[in-house]
Amino acid sequence: MQILVARSDNRPFELARFDAAWARAGGDPSELVFVTPSTAGEVAAPDAVFGGLLLTGGPDVEPARYGADIEVGVQPRLDPERDALDLALLERAEREGWPVLAVCYGCQVMNVFFGGTLIQDLDRAGKPNHYVSEPKDHLAHPVTKCGRSGGRWLDGCPDEFLVNSRHRQAIAEVAGPLEVILTAPDGVVEAVKLHHTNRFVLGVQWHPENLTQTEHVALFRAFRSACLAPFVVHGPRSTIFGAR
């Protein structure tokens, strides 16, 4: 089994972070295949078989992709090629039935993929203190499950637990196919899952790859189990560069 892991060309440090997180969850880091915009044609060829998709942190999603202009005073960090890569991989995951774990930027771009929108600047929106750059494992605030269970993919997590936080943007309008399953005390969406499916599709707004507490390791363990599960099927091959 191999898991496709999307990262930005300028973020090589993701390899060590996610290798370590995968090992903590009982996986072999050799199962992870990293792909960037510059290596997509070689690494994620249409005939390559993968068991799942992991989207890592990165830039800010281009507002035009969710029908918005850049707000006055906001200076986004854009990487159109990374957006294109992740959106194409999400489309391929839909076609081939892959489990998906989306982290931080990955959570945001997944919401955009399914038709949602984003808050472009949390501080300007009156929701500060979501960007704590250092140390990477600083537990910035709690998150709380919504509803009775918070989603079956959070079975390894308590009803409330602490997370780190390094994001200036967040989900605004939640995409129709997605359900909010975790929120911060100020109401910021911290995790979403895909409605009405047994397929693992989970987006989290924090960075569990930097954390060693049981609940964060459990997310990777649940994702890996989903990638190994019998319900994972590979449908018709699709091109990574297909238009959306």
Tell me the C-alpha distance between 72 and 61, whole Å. 16
31 tagged catalytic:
no
Residue in 94, 96, 104, 216 annotated catalytic: 104
Closest CA to 4 of 94, 86, 78, 105: 86
- Known catalytic membership, residue 179: no
Q: Of 105, 67, 63, nearest to 86 (Cα)?
A: 105
State the amino acid at position 188 in one-letter form. Answer: V
Is residue 209 within 8 Å of 177, Cβ to Cβ? no
Active-site residue identified among 130, 167, 207, 216? 207
Q: Which of 191, 181, 134, 140 is nearest to 162 (CA)?
A: 140
Active-site hit among 62, 94, 96, 209: 209
Our answer to whether residue 209 is catalytic in this structure is yes
The answer to whether the CB of 66 falls within 8 A of the CB of 117 is: yes
Catalytic residues: 104, 207, 209
